[in-house]
């Protein structure tokens, strides 16, 4: 497993002094980026190859949110490469090696010239050493939405939502969706399914679905296409 050590910063915490879900996702995203950079398969190399990895789905399960100043280790491992798809686990551990959070993710490799799936090239197949996937309760990738979603005020995509691929970053999608959770909602698990990219100036309409044990939020573009669906399960 590829890992790096860190310490929870004040800027990464909520009003209770605990790591936020948004910051946890950023740690995971940074970890896989660091691994790719160290293997010579990072952002600039992908640009040269006219390729980009796009996240298709997340499942993130939290055991405990670490507190301000706590030392942690963040890890990632690829466990499957097939066709244009990459399967990758993530985790965050405390100083004793106990899991604070675990995640599963599915990624699609796209050709930036055509925006269509591209077979994983040989240098990536050789560069990413596949490992045994983490032990966790794996949930389905597809999210079944409860009935009767309530539309909310549209959100305009701003520059701070974008990443180096010039589309809305996966964490930013979830951050937008979390604005519609009830106050004090403690997230135990997030599942997110990404359907369509969004770009600067796009208008996203949130739709909120509430169920007894979870809250789902979808984000649709002006044409009514689903960009992302997220399911937030509570801690209780």
Please list the pLDDT of the chain residue by residue as tens digits (236 residues): 999 999 999 999 999 999 999 999 999 999 999 999 999 999 999 999 999 999 999 999 999 999 999 999 999 999 999 999 999 999 999 999 999 999 999 999 999 999 899 999 999 999 999 999 999 999 999 998 888 889 999 999 899 888 777 888 888 889 999 999 988 888 999 999 999 888 898 899 999 998 878 999 999 999 989 999 999 998 75
Q: How far apart are CA 43 and CA 220, in angstroms?
A: 28
Token output for 136? 């966790």
- pLDDT computed for residue 236 by the predictor: 59
State whether residue 4 is helix, strand or coil.
strand
State whether residue 51 is helix, strand or coil.
strand
- pLDDT computed for residue 62 by the predictor: 97
Cα dihedral 160, 221, 55, 162, rounded to 10, equals -10
How many helices (H) and strands (E) would you count in the chain? 4, 12
- pLDDT computed for residue 163 by the predictor: 78
């Amino acid at each position: 497993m590829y890992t790096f050590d860190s310490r929870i910063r004040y800027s990464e915490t909520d009003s209770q002094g605990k790591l936020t879900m948004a910051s946890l996702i950023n740690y995971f995203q940074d970890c896989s980026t660091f691994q790719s950079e160290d293997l010579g398969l990072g952002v600039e190399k992908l640009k040269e190859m006219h390729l980009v990895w796009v996240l298709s789905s997340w499942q993130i399960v939290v055991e405990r949110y670490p507190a301000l100043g706590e030392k942690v280790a963040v890890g990632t491992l690829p466990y499957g490469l097939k066709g244009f798809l990459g399967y990758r686990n993530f985790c965050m551990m405390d100083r004793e090696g106990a899991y604070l959070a675990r995640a599963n993710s599915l990624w699609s490799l796209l050709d930036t010239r055509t925006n269509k799936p591209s077979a994983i090239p040989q240098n990536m197949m050789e560069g990413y050493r596949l490992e045994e996937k983490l032990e966790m309760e794996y949930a389905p990738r597809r999210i079944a939405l409860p009935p009767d979603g309530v539309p909310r005020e549209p959100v305009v995509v701003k520059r701070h939502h974008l990443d180096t691929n010039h589309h809305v970053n996966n964490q930013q999608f979830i951050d937008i969706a979390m604005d519609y959770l009830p106050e004090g909602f403690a997230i135990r698990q997030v599942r997110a399914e990404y359907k369509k990219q969004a770009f600067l100036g796009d208008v996203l309409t949130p739709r909120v679905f509430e169920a007894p044990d979870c809250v789902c939020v979808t984000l649709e573009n002006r044409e009514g296409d689903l960009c992302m669906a997220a399911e937030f399960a509570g801690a209780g």
